[in-house]
Chain A
């Protein structure tokens, strides 16, 4: 069935360092891959997304890459700041506007 695997489950970095979170999806028909940031007690917040016809997308300190052949996609955060500390989720979907399949989450801790 549809599945998204996310690694690592926890990640601790020093302020200013880069952080990388990786996801693998099982459904080769998946065509949209968003990333969400969730802070304690809040709902997930969409931070960046990528479509299957694009290999990389950047937005300031955040970038996402997609390798369709390997069914991998990754989130890269550069120059991390303490306020980046949160749980990050990757997701995938195969249908236009359909359900999202989420990874298990990565708890990122940025130490000042």
Chain B
């Protein structure tokens, strides 16, 4: 399967702990996005990368959050000192990122569901 993959699928942690999620985009895709989705809501944008460059960060991405894409392939999202309000589904998406008919199409992974106790 060549879709977007995310690991882990589920994570339960205690308040104050650090967690890290991984996203592997579709292989030929240059852009990678992170979104957060809470129950009953649409996904909210967090940040995105063009290759290894982080091009935009939402104000939702507090100092406790950091995202990296060191080699322009997979990406990690780390949350430090987790809080109960961080409980959500964290979604990763990727897109081609080059001019053309399919430039804007974003394809999502299955998500990582985080529960902070």
Contacts and interface: CB of A to CB of B under 8 A. Distances in A.
Interface of A: 4, 6, 32, 34, 36, 41-46, 49, 51, 89, 91, 93, 96-105
B43 A89 contact: yes
A11 B95 CA distance: 31
B110 A43 contact: yes
B73 interface: no
Contacts of B25: none
B56 A42 contact: no
Contacts of B45: 99-101
A103 B33 CA distance: 18
A100 to B, nearest CB: 6
Nearest to A51: B104
B2 interface: no
B106 A102 contact: no
A42 B112 CA distance: 10
Interface string B39-78: 0111111001010000010100000000000000000000
B48 A49 contact: no
A3 B61 CA distance: 18
**Interface SS of B by simple majority:** loop
Interface residues of B, number: 29
Interface of B: 4, 31, 33, 35, 40-45, 48, 50, 56, 58, 91, 93, 95-97, 99, 103-111
26 contacts: A32-B104, A34-B105, A34-B106, A41-B110, A42-B111, A43-B4, A43-B93, A43-B108, A43-B110, A44-B43, A46-B107, A46-B108, A51-B104, A93-B104, A96-B99, A97-B96, A99-B48, A100-B35, A100-B43, A100-B45, A100-B106, A102-B42, A104-B40, A104-B42, A105-B40, A105-B42
A110 to B, nearest CB: 20
Nearest to A32: B104
A102 B104 contact: no
Q: Which 9 A-B pairs give the minimum distances between C-beta atoms?
A: A102-B42, A43-B108, A99-B45, A32-B104, A44-B108, A43-B110, A89-B42, A43-B111, A102-B43
